[in-house]
Amino acid sequence: MSEQEYSGLTGRIVQYTIQNSADVYRLGFWVGLVSFIMITLFPFYWLLVLAVTPDNQLYQMGVVPENFNIGVFATVVQEYPLHHYIFNSILIATITVIVCITLGSLAGYAFGRVDFPGKGPLLVLLLIISYFPGIAFLIPLFELLTGSLSILGTPTPDLYNTPWGMVFPFTMLSLPITIFILTTFYSQIPDGLEDAARVEGTTRLGALFRVIMPLSAPGVVTAAIIVFIGVYREFFFSFIMTDGSPENWAVLVYGILNFQQQHTQMYNMMAAASLIGIIPIAVLVIIAQEHIVRGLTAGGLKE
Amino acid sequence: MKQKVQQAVSPIFLRIEQLDEAKYGFLLVSPVFLVLSVLAFYPLVKTLYFSLQDDDLTGTHPIGEFVGLENYVQILSGDANAILSSPFFDLQAPFSSALIVTLLITVVSVAIGTVMGLGMAIILNKEFKGRRYARTIVILPWSIPIVIQGMMFFLLFQPSLSPFVEPLANLGVFSDNPLINSQDSTIIVILIDIWRKIPFIALIIMAGIASIDRNLYDVAEVAGATKWQQFRMITLPQIKPVLFIGMIFYTISSMKIYGIVEASAGCSTVPTLTCLVVQTFRQQRWATASAIAFITAVVIAVIIMVYIVRFREADAS
């Protein structure tokens, strides 16, 4: 091959690429990594820029803040009950986690460790639930949970504007993934350990709660984190099951949307509120990254 | 007292001890299925039942008489468009028809998001200093509240604030106020969806890459295969099943898209299928809303079928 074929800038780039493919490969890797991280972080950075910009300068902004108004974070909590919404979100997510782990442990144990007929079809049934969009449950669930349905002449309790109005739909949405994750983890515990406990005279349920569950603690923690994040980030039922005031158990969804709908120009407040709303999740992601990765793949890859 | 409780409870424990394996299994799964019967199966069946009734806008209950498939016929033929907040399907107005907008968002988002997710998975699978931190950073978009995902891009495309809206408008990409323009807002919703789903699909693909036998690469290396050839001949075929599962989950989730729309451009600008159901429900048209919800479920089912058939074909060849 003659030198002539590689003349010009493109030619020289091609030549360099062929001769130093390892370098080019490494360059591509770093360019890719840096761009992914920048794409990921830019919207967060923009929130920060908006939040710290004083409200009289919120117009035609650059990408670097010119003034810093850190007080906005305190204002958002003092003048608007943002912490109240976040507290509601965390409490409702925690109740859902407890309900799902309790019910899901029993089922996950059965699916992972007990042989019974119809196991396959029942697992498929769970998968079918997680397939249906939330809207396919909405209207009857709304009717059932807001007291507009009567069973044998007794109206169902009105749970609109209560935590339970959200906990019930969230439990329904989170149970399948909880069970998929726990089934995977429970099935990995060696039989010998359970047998040993049973020989020592532990009851069946005792073996589940005292031997199997502690051994599969990482699985339980993983499922709990995935359910917590799922509920904390949920939009649909959170939006529909309350009227939006924090006294009525409105969650973070309304804490953010109320700025957009009632205080339309307070962009710095919207940004600050969003950043504060992210904190609980950011903390969880930082300390439990491994669990989240494992849970998503265990739950997602279960056919 | 404690003894009394024990005496009362112990026969139950004894009974549980004596159950055979199958009955014990059923006993353990029964609470879950009892709860799900009330909270999931009953609502699903009732939605189907509602969808076969007439809307009753004047009576005490929004559900009227049995009309069979009438609602479905009305919606699919376009006759229902007049009473809906936005048409279900209207080729004349593609960016305001719920079905077209939703399918467009899903197809574009899944196509671009999957390719980018694959890229991210390959990069994050390499050993490098600070990989742990990089992984932590990239899973943030997926994990934050949906309302904040929408809010971020709402603030990013506010014409009075953003340094990008004017340049993009000058280039002819967007109009002056993209958040009130259906076409621009659809693109913005697609951007949000891609941004938040890349980590999700990347994690699933990474699990697939992690399970590939390393020896395959060693053999390829010895045989003189380039990195690109290794990717085409080893990585891609090996992760195909995982990729399909990831894409199915991605697709289902994009077809249900709602929260980021409500928090950014709003349902009247980008009327997705879920938006349409919620708005119809709010108009007290429960029967019509139920029918649209079920049509949505059927559309998703058809798409999943297509995936599975394509996967079988690809697997066979």
Integer Cα distance of A117 and A136 in angstroms:
29
Answer with the residue of higher pLDDT: A293 or B306: B306
- Check if the beta carbon of residue B220 is closer than 8 Å to that of residue B229: yes
**Inter-chain contact A133–B28, Cβ cutoff 8 Å?**
no
Q: Does B293 touch chain A (CB under 8 A)?
A: yes
Amino acid at A294: R
Eight-class DSSP state of B213 = -
CATH code, domain carrying A219: 1.10.3720.10
Q: Enter the tokens of residue A263.
A: 């205080």
- Check if the beta carbon of residue B159 is closer than 8 Å to that of residue B165: yes
Place of tokens 């994050």: B124
Residue among B152, B246, B293 minimizing CB distance to A46: B152
A192 and A267: one domain? yes
Integer Cα distance of A278 and B136 in angstroms:
14
pLDDT at B3: 67
In this prediction, residues B176-198 reach a mean pLDDT of 95
- Check if the beta carbon of residue A253 is closer than 8 Å to that of residue A232: no
Q: Band of the pLDDT at A282, cuts 50, 70, 90? A: very high
Eight-class DSSP state of A156 = P
A117 and A190: one domain? yes
A139 and A274: one domain? yes
**Inter-chain contact B278–A135, Cβ cutoff 8 Å?**
yes
Q: Where are the beta strands (DSSP E) in chain A?
A: 150-151, 154-155
Amino acid at B105: I
Amino acid at A281: I
User: What is the nearest CA distance from A91 to chain B, expressed in angstroms?
Assistant: 15
- A115 is a domain residue: yes
A85 and A203: one domain? yes
- A64 is a domain residue: no
Q: Does B83 touch chain A (CB under 8 A)?
A: no
Here the ipTM equals 0.90
**Inter-chain contact A136–B158, Cβ cutoff 8 Å?**
no
Task: Quote the pTM value.
Answer: 0.91
Interface A:B, Cβ pairs < 8 A: 276
User: What is the nearest CA distance from A298 to chain B, expressed in angstroms?
Assistant: 9
Q: What is the pLDDT of residues B244-256, one digit of tens each?
A: 989 999 999 999 9
pLDDT at A65: 82
Residue B100 has pLDDT above 50, yes or no: yes
User: What is the nearest CA distance from A5 to chain B, expressed in angstroms?
Assistant: 23
Greatest Cα pair distance, chain A, in angstroms, is: 93
Residue among A141, A148, A175 minimizing CB distance to B32: A175
Residue among B38, B145, B304 minimizing CB distance to A277: B145
Integer Cα distance of A190 and B256 in angstroms:
40
Neighbours of A153 (CB within 10 A): 5
A165 and A17: one domain? no
Q: For residue B95, which of B261, B299, B206, B302 has the smallest C-alpha distance?
A: B261
Query: CA-nearest residue of chain A to B25?
Result: A110
Q: What is the pLDDT of residues B214-251, one digit of tens each?
A: 899 999 989 988 888 888 889 999 999 889 989 999 99
Residue A101 has pLDDT above 70, yes or no: yes
For residue B189, the SS3 value is helix
Its domain, for residue A282, covers 72-300
Integer Cα distance of B257 and B98 in angstroms:
11
Residue B184 has pLDDT above 90, yes or no: yes
Is residue A200 classed exposed, middle or buried when 0-12, 13-18 and 19+ CB atoms within 10 A define those classes? exposed
pLDDT at A2: 46
- A110 is a domain residue: yes
How many domains is chain A built from?
A: 2
Q: What is the pLDDT of residues A152-205, one digit of tens each?
A: 778 888 999 999 999 999 999 999 999 999 998 888 888 887 788 777 777 787
- A65 is a domain residue: no
A89 and A211: one domain? yes
Residue among A41, A126, A136 minimizing CB distance to B47: A136
Q: Does B256 touch chain A (CB under 8 A)?
A: yes
Average pLDDT of chain B, as a whole number: 91
A51 and A106: one domain? no
Question: B91: which residues sit within 8 A by CB, 6+ positions away?
Answer: B97, B100
Integer Cα distance of B291 and B314 in angstroms:
35
Q: Band of the pLDDT at B300, cuts 50, 70, 90? A: very high
Q: Band of the pLDDT at A1, cuts 50, 70, 90? A: very low
Q: Which of these ranges, A10-14, A84-88, B41-45, B48-52, has the smallest mean pLDDT?
A: A10-14
Q: What is the pLDDT of residues B243-286, one digit of tens each?
A: 998 999 999 999 999 999 999 999 999 999 999 999 999 999 99
pLDDT at B272: 96
